[in-house]
Amino acid sequence: MLTAYDASFASVIDQAGVDIVLVGDSLGMVIQGHDSTIPVSVDDVLYHTQCVSKVCQRAMVMADMPFMSFRDVPLALENATRFLQEGGASAVKLEGGGHVLPVVEALAKYGIPVCAHLGLQPQYVNKLGGYRVQGRDKGAARHMLHEAKIMQESGADMLLLECIPSDLASEISQSLSIPTIGIGAGQHCDAQVLVLYDLLGISFGKVPKFAKDFLAESDSIQAAVAAYVKDVKSGVFPAAEHTFN
């Protein structure tokens, strides 16, 4: 999985063999210049999803549900429907633990594929006090494992794990039948995701530990994305230096 926000990059990603293109609310930071994802609106994600879905021929397009766009079931159904009907997405992703289970259940009931998101949840940055690794103490790890299981039971089709210890990600992945997608969660997830601009080494500000500049070792953007696909599928990426203990 990689993020994309426009037709040109989405086409490159699609042709390189990436399986899922995520129109992430990370666009608030890498496109709009905000210091968090919180200002991103439904209309923002919808516009960029439309741009991406027009050119993706093989990859699944997934739209991120922005901050407070799924605060109750009716609103979540309305916004997710727009992402599929108007945006051309095939699935949505949403952040949150047990309190979003009614939303996950409702979306699944109405045939909308859902990717849940546990660990570091950027929409909660003001509550978390920053972008920090989650699940390091035993209590938090047990709670995350429990939430992962009930997300699956509630109808989530996949689970994104962000910035958690590699051992915890491995335990969660082994406990579920749905795929796990890691970002800063080690090698033992079923898939990996990066923000495209981190992969290309053009993000401004602090570079996350879990990121790698694939363009530095490639002669084109197309080659960099292809190298990412190859390294993820062969298990070369993420390496130890991209993971947390």
List residues with catalytic annotation. 162
Give CA separation, 117 vs 6, 84, 147, 195, in Å: 23, 19, 10, 15
Q: Are 166 and 145 in contact (CB under 8 A)?
A: no
Smallest CA-to-CA distance from 216 within 233, 199, 230, 203 is with 199
Locate the DSSP E strands across the chain. Answer: 2-3, 20-23, 60-64, 91-95, 114-119, 158-162, 180-183, 191-192
Cis peptide before 238 (omega within 30 of 0): yes
User: Rounded to a whole number, what is the distance in angstroms from the first to the last CA of the chain?
Assistant: 23
Give residue 81's Cα distance to chain centre. 19
- Grouping H, G, I as helix, E, B as strand and the rest as coil, residue 194 is strand
- Residue 115 φ/ψ, nearest 5 degrees: -105, 115
